[in-house]
Amino acid sequence: MPQALQLQQEIITLEQYEAFPAEKRAEVFDGIVYDMASPSQIHQALSMELSNILYNYMKSKKKSCQVFSAPFDVKLSDQPLTIVQPDIMVICNKDKLDGKRCNGAPDFIIEIVSPGNPSDDYIRKLYYYKNAGVREYWIVDPRRKTVTINYFEGNIVSVQYPFDSIIKVNIYDDLFINFSEIANLLNI
């Protein structure tokens, strides 16, 4: 009986990852490289709006947390190497920042779903973010017009909201994001 041919994917190191050309968009899960598609116009518009809301909140409340947007590397694991580039992240522990990347889990991550690979955000990244210690993870899906909140600290596991909602950022007591305003502004 013939045996199935198994393709072996090369496991890369941090040094190999850092040698990639600057224009290469890729993430690494358990040492395996996955190329990323360029973001769409609506993806970028949502990213800008959400980043601005988070940045302005941090600034007005004099929070020590910092907001970053892609492309900015987050190394979730050394062995096996796992490096992601979340669309938006909030990092409160400045010791995780080394000038090149965040080493360890950000406190809050927002991923905006790309039409070509929704399972990346809903399945793969959910698994890695939860296991790495991300406190809260939002999945913003412009096609479905939904926001899925995954809050890993409390009893809330996963709650989905339509774009016409005002949604609380659970890691803060007084931060609410009005998706209805964003959707109207961007004509979504």
Helix or strand or coil: residue 176? strand
Q: Please name the residues in contact with 39: beta carbons below 8 A apart, sequence gap of 6 or more.
A: 47, 70, 87, 112, 114
- pLDDT at position 3, please? 52
| H or E stretch at 52 | helix 41-60
**Helix 179-186 to helix 41-60 angle, to the nearest 10 degrees?**
140
What residue ranges do the domains of the chain occupy? 39-69+84-186
Reported pTM: 0.91
pLDDT along the chain (188 residues), means of 10: 57 93 92 90 96 96 93 95 97 96 98 87 94 96 96 85 96 95 89
Q: Are 93 and 171 in contact (CB under 8 A)?
A: no
CA angle 116, 166, 168 (to 5 degrees): 90
Whether omega for the bond prior to residue 142 falls within 30 degrees of 0, making it cis, is: no
- pLDDT at position 141, please? 96
Specify the length of the chain in residues. 188
Q: Are 149 and 136 in contact (CB under 8 A)?
A: yes
- pLDDT at position 181, please? 94
- pLDDT at position 8, please? 57
Q: Please name the residues in contact with 38: beta carbons below 8 A apart, sequence gap of 6 or more.
A: 25
- pLDDT at position 7, please? 56
Collect contacts of 125-129 with beta carbons under 8 A, ≥24 apart: 125/84, 125/86, 126/150, 128/29, 128/76, 128/82, 128/84, 129/76, 129/105
d(CA 41, CA 48): 11
Q: Are 130 and 152 in contact (CB under 8 A)?
A: yes
Exposure b/e, 150-160, CB count within 10 A at least 16 = b:
bbbeeeeeeee
Q: Which superfamily, per CATH, for 39-69+84-186?
A: tt1808, chain A (3.90.1570.10)
Ramachandran sector of residue 136 (left: φ over 0; alpha: ψ -120 to 50; beta: rest): beta
Helix or strand or coil: residue 37? coil
